[in-house]
Every structure is written in C-alpha cells, then in structure tokens.
C-alpha cells in the first residue's frame, strides 16, 4: 500500500492531541552552591514528583518515562529509572535516559509526545536533569603521568631522604 494512502486510510490511528498537564523544575543553583549535595537523579525525582502533584496525577498512572541526562558519570545505571522510582513511579514502568547533549530534555519530550500520538501511551513523564557540581573531573592522561608525579615527589629532598631518592633513581622502589 502506498504510504500516503495508508495515512489517509480510516483504519489509521486517529489524531491524538498531546497535552502538557503539569510542569515543575528545581531552583536554578550555582556551581558548588546550595543544591550541590543533591545528585541529578534526586533533582529529577523532585521535579517529577512535583509535576505529578501539581497535575493531580497519581504516579501509578504513568505508563512511560523519558528523561534527559548528559553527564551521567557517578549516577549509576539508568538515571531516568532512578529519578522515576524516587518520584514514586512503579518499577514496572519503562524508563529511558536520553543523551542528546543540550537537546536531551527536548528530545525526551518529543519521544513522549510521539508515544501518545501513536496511541501507545496516555500518560508519559518527560524532562531532563543535570547537576554540574556532581560531575567528576577526570584527568584524561593521569594514567601516563602518575609515575612521573610519583618520581617527582620521591626524588625531592623535601619529601624523602637522599637515600630514598637514590633508591628511586636506581629503580629499586618500582
């Protein structure tokens, strides 16, 4: 069947309006500021819980969660699921973490809307979460420079005796 004819067919899914019924966000915090003790998943669960409460939607009615998160290092597995569970959404609900850099939250919203338009879901949570204060700062070349740094500290007279420095120099320590 021609795709255009399929779309025009009366057997197709009827248009389904998508409505945003509740919104919430955490306050905007500064780097290492008052919200820095909270991981992104906790901030996400606070926002989800607040949005559901404002919309008077029971968390058990949510059918799917799409939540954006870019810098997920140190958050553990499945940050979207963690945020959903923290908001009281049942563990049977499918949760997807989206990473599209700055467009993660928007992409999550688009995917949520599409599942509603296609008749897959009726109640979907979409959004995004981040905590720049909690992103670990890695030294990309640290594995190559640790020995050099150790060498520096061990051969400095301030940190060790002359005899210890000679042992390092002669490779008796490594």
pLDDT tens digit sequence for 100-146: 999 999 999 999 999 999 999 999 999 999 999 999 877 666 655 66
Here the contacts of 97-100 (C-beta below 8 Å, separation 24 or greater) are 97/67, 97/68, 97/69, 97/72, 98/66, 98/67, 98/68, 98/69, 98/128, 99/68, 99/69, 99/70, 99/72, 100/68
Q: How confident is the model at residue 96 (pLDDT cuts 50, 70, 90)?
A: very high
Together in a domain, 28 and 76 = yes
Together in a domain, 99 and 169 = no
Together in a domain, 86 and 165 = no
* CA proximity to 168, closest of 145, 149, 144, 143: 149
* CA proximity to 47, closest of 103, 112, 125: 125
Does the residue 145 lie in any domain?
yes
Q: In what order do the strands lie in the sheet with 124-128?
A: 94-98, 64-68, 124-128
pLDDT at 158: 54
For residue 9, pLDDT beyond 80: no
Specify the pTM.
Answer: 0.74
Mean pLDDT of 83-95: 99
Together in a domain, 170 and 85 = no
Does the residue 22 lie in any domain?
yes
Q: How confident is the model at residue 76 (pLDDT cuts 50, 70, 90)?
A: very high
């Amino acid at each position: 069947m021609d795709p255009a004819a399929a779309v025009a067919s009366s057997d197709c899914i009827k248009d389904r309006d998508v409505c945003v019924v509740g919104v919430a966000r955490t306050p905007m915090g500064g780097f290492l500021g008052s919200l820095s003790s909270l991981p992104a998943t906790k901030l996400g669960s606070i926002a989800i819980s607040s949005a559901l409460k404002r919309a008077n939607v029971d968390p058990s009615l949510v059918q799917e969660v799409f939540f954006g998160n870019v810098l997920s290092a140190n958050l553990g597995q499945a940050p979207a699921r963690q945020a959903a569970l923290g908001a009281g959404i049942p563990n049977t609900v499918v949760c997807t973490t989206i990473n599209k850099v700055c467009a993660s939250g928007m992409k999550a919203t688009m995917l949520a809307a599409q599942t509603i338009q296609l008749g897959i879901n009726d109640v979907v949570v979409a959004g995004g979460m981040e905590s720049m204060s909690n992103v670990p700062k890695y030294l990309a070349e640290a594995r190559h420079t640790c020995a050099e740094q150790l060498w520096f500290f061990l051969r400095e007279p301030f940190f060790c005796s002359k005899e210890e420095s000679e042992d390092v120099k002669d490779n008796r320590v490594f």
